[in-house]
Amino acid sequence: MMNSQTNKDFIIVADTDRGLVREKNEDYYGIFEPEKSELIERLGVLVIVSDGMGGHFSGAEASRASVELISEIYFDRAEGEPLERLKTAFDLANDCIFDDIGNGVEGMAGTTCTAALLFPEFAVVAHAGDSRAYLFRRDEVEQLTVDHSVVGEMMRKGVLTKEEARTHPHRNVITRAMGLKKGVEVDVIESVPLWPGDTLLLCSDGLTSMVSEEEIRKIVAALPPEEASQALIIKAKKEGGNDNITVVLARKRDR
């Protein structure tokens, strides 16, 4: 079911779909604001996408827990500036998933997690795994995150192209994720400048494994967020829908 939220700075739309092959949806997403509206300027709006790892115990439970724990810790329990609060939220959420869902056994529960804090002029992005964050500006697209996966490492070494990676037999082998072990290494982008009309996309690999970056760019550039989110999911299913598909689109309003 599509979820949308707007404020004076952003139009935010999120949607998820089981796809055509998987028996259940192990993706999860969230859009969160602080309870007190006056705190939005200081703490931002938090958007998250998580993809429970197939073949692991309770992938769906792990993905949901990562979203709910990170939001709760970030807004209610962590201290300091937003960047430090977000790092704390990832760290504590990871250990909770490992202890409570994975029962303290390495590799029993895992999920990717990509989060963004939205502020009027910039975003902070943090992630572990291969759920991606993209920035769309006019007719250009930039992948902000790097895939923590076997094929991601091969791409960075120049062994594979992006298109080859989409169909590689090891494309689902993740090298970093939430809940697999005590402690998690999280990549953080401290400041992504946002201009009027820019769109930030967070998505699970159920989108990027089915739809090329260029096709995603065309859809996001041509449509308002509400229509783009639906069009991306429809396109992924048309191309096979082999995995769960989740998208969160945040478009900065034109002033």
Residue 205: predicted pLDDT:
96
Arithmetic mean of pLDDT, 61-67: 97
Give the whole-angstrom CA distance, residue 254 versus residue 200: 14
Q: Encode pLDDT of 123-181 as tens digits.
A: 999 999 999 999 999 999 999 999 998 887 887 888 888 777 777 777 778 899 999 99
Give the whole-angstrom CA distance, residue 202 versus residue 250: 9
- pTM exceeds 0.85, yes or no: yes
Do the Cβ atoms of 53 and 112 come closer than 8 Å?
yes
Confidence of residue 57 (pLDDT cuts 50, 70, 90): low
Arithmetic mean of pLDDT, 197-220: 98
Give the whole-angstrom CA distance, residue 230 versus residue 225: 9
Confidence of residue 82 (pLDDT cuts 50, 70, 90): very high
Give the whole-angstrom CA distance, residue 245 versus residue 134: 16
Domains of the chain, CATH where assigned: 3-145+175-252 (3.60.40.10)
Residue 55: predicted pLDDT:
60
Three-state SS at 114: strand
CA nearest to 143, candidates 47, 55, 208: 208
Give the whole-angstrom CA distance, residue 39 versus residue 177: 30
